Amino acid sequence: MSQLFHTKDISKSSFLVTGGAGFIGSHIAEYLLRNGAAKVRVLDNMVNGFQSNLDILRRYPAFEMMEGDIRDLDTCMKACEGIYYVSHQAALGSVPRSIKEPVYFNDVNVGGFVNMLKAAVDQKVKTFVYASSSSVYGDEPTLPKKEERIGNCLSPYAATKKTNELYAQVFADVYGIKLMGFRYFNIFGPRQDPNGPYAAVIPLFVKGIMNKSEVFINGDGEQTRDFTYVENAIQVNVKGMLTEREEAFKKVYNVAVGEYYSVNHLYKACADYLNSDWKPTHREPRAGDIRNSLADISLAMDLLDYKPVKRFDEGLRETIAYFKEVYS
């Protein structure tokens, strides 16, 4: 990834990336390190993080690792010491897992989030950006999804992310902290974990096709998603942290491409790139899933100068090349 997403000099700036040993967080941290940030501190409890991601970051002298849990306020306070900019990516994902473990999800995604906000205020962090989710749109059926129009939450995970947005608004109003949130739409790319019962769809498909093991499609497979390559998430986090536009703060932005594809189309594309005729198995639809998802990205384009740099086909090619190299 060689694209430059900022013009500001960051050689005297310090950054904290929570969840920086994970999929999206490690990409954000690597971008900042590669482009000369004075300090990039990662806070991660290593529940969903990987040493292999940290090994990439350790190549840079400005990298600093802090192992700890956002559920502990003192840890969050220490993590924010001397930090200008925070990119908060630490959270539990997975709609079905949240249905099984709602209390755990609330403790991490809501309690941990409030701890981080409080720490950022007390340590006088300049800008705080955080990961929300397209799941907050819930049962609102209108496409494309626009930020101001959301429905009822369909899962505990969605409820935690909606609650994050409410707390962010309150902290901005009450404490004056500059912040913004990003509603990610199905982010995918290299380093996304293909293992475990709650793995995301693209690494699951690629791994199953490569290994000729059973691959499941929930329901008829005609549900659609705005699949978004991880480089686009890096871009919006960097631009959000570094923006000087006052009107950009106290908002939540869709982070997507503005195109949608069915799960069946996704599976066929994965199989085609892998030159495979391996067939999937259809099973019951999954509780809590949104049927169709497509983002209106005009707000991020207008206020953050966000422009999707890689679309579905190019991103999928790069992702599959990574999985072939790492797992074959």
Given a contact cutoff of 8 angstroms between Cβ atoms, the answer to whether 316 and 269 are in contact is yes
Cross-strand pairs, 251 = 180
172-183 CB burial, b ≥16 within 10 A, e <16: beeeebbbbbbb
104 an active-site residue? Answer: no
- Report whether 168 contacts 237 (CB < 8 A): no
Tell me which residue of 188, 221, 175, 191 sits closest to 322, measured CA to CA.
Answer: 191
- 10 Å CB burial of residue 55 (0-12, 13-18, 19+) is exposed
Which residues face 40 on adjacent strands? 15, 63
- Closest residue by Cα to residue 111 from 91, 83, 82: 91
Which one from 31, 84, 137, 157 is the annotated catalytic residue?
A: 157
Active site residues: 157
